[in-house]
Amino acid sequence: MKKTGLLLLGMILLGSVTFAGQKNPVSTRPLAEKIGVGFSIPFANLPVLAGRYWLTDIAAVECFLGFRIDDNHNSNNTYAFGGKFLYVLKSYKNLNLFSAASLALRSEGTTYSVIRSGFGIEWFALDDLSLSTEADLSLRVGGGQTSLETSVEGIPRIGIRYYL
């Protein structure tokens, strides 16, 4: 349990350094109160549906849900759901660099929690259509296992989102 606490503290410190370095970030794209829906980058190799709501031009929350149901009753059913907080670090005309922190529950036989902290980019291909990818540090807790790992599974994969 001490190891888990220390790992979690390290992840919080990594995220706080990112936010502390910002004086007055400004977004060049008006995003406040916009809602984006679509597919986010896969979560632990599971494609997820996502909804993102921009609280301000530089801060957003996202909820996601992914599942895989097999015909073999309950043996291989998998799901993941959770939420994410995003904060824009640097904004360009069609590109946002952001930091993100997320918390999710994942089940694949056993249920465990995943805490992630990392960075990503969101590119607006059109005014209301964006593509994104992320890299992060993740902590898996539960299911008889605790692990810390880097995750760049999103880098070759792209999430797509349409803003209403």
Q: Longest C-alpha distance within the chain, in Å?
A: 54
Mean pLDDT, residues 49-75:
87
The kind and range of the H/E element at 43 are strand 35-43
d(CA 52, CA 130): 12
Express each pLDDT in 35-61 by its tens digit. 999 998 777 678 889 999 999 999 999
58-67, 85-94, 136-145: segment of lowest average pLDDT: 136-145
Express each pLDDT in 14-42 by its tens digit. 554 444 445 555 666 788 999 999 998 77
Structural domain that includes position 140: 2-163
d(CA 124, CA 38): 14
Amino acid at 81: F
| Residue with more model confidence, 23 or 106 | 106
C-alpha distances in Å from residue 154, one per residue of 42, 47, 54, 80: 7, 11, 21, 16
For 92, which DSSP code?
-
- Check residue 10 and give its pLDDT: 54
- Check residue 17 and give its pLDDT: 46
The residues, ordered by sequence, that sit 6+ positions from 46 with a Cβ below 8 Å of its Cβ are 66, 67, 68, 78, 79, 80, 106
| CATH code where residue 130 lies | 2.40.160.20
Taking Cα atoms as reference points, which of 108, 103, 51 lies closest to residue 79? 108
| Residue with more model confidence, 5 or 91 | 91
Express each pLDDT in 116-129 by its tens digit. 899 999 999 998 99
Please check the confidence at residue 134 and state whether its pLDDT lies above 80: yes
- Check residue 52 and give its pLDDT: 94
- Check residue 37 and give its pLDDT: 96
Total of domains in the chain: 1
